[in-house]
Amino acid sequence: MDIFKGKTTAAEVARQYDLTVSEVEGWIDEAQRSMENGFKARSKDIREQYESERRETKEALGEAHLQIDALKMYGPLL
């Protein structure tokens, strides 16, 4: 995280943890890709979840209307 914050460099982290600079840079690249994909997927997932809940709510409302209509028509007969 300190690399992302600009507090240190990949070379300094590599020296500190006895790693190669290319290892550290590879992890940095992977972390950046994961973050970018996470943001893209998150907005898509939220939109899909919203649409799914919206569909379910509309279906439930439709069923409730059908039940109300049936009770109005056949309720006095019961």
6-61 pLDDT, tens digit each: 999 999 999 999 999 999 999 999 998 888 877 766 667 778 888 999 999 999 99
Q: Is the pTM of this model over 0.75?
A: no
Contacts of 28 (CB under 8 A, 6+ apart): 3, 4, 10
Q: List alpha helices for 1-78, DSSP H.
A: 10-16, 21-74
Number of domains the chain is built from: 1
Question: What does each C-alpha distance from 52 to 16, 36, 59, 61, 64 come to in angstroms?
Answer: 49, 24, 11, 14, 18
Residue 1 within any structural domain of the chain: no
Residue 69 within any structural domain of the chain: yes
Rounded-to-integer distance, Cα 12 and Cα 47, Å: 41
Containing structural domain, residue 17:
10-77
The pLDDT value recorded for residue 35 is 84
Residue 4 within any structural domain of the chain: no
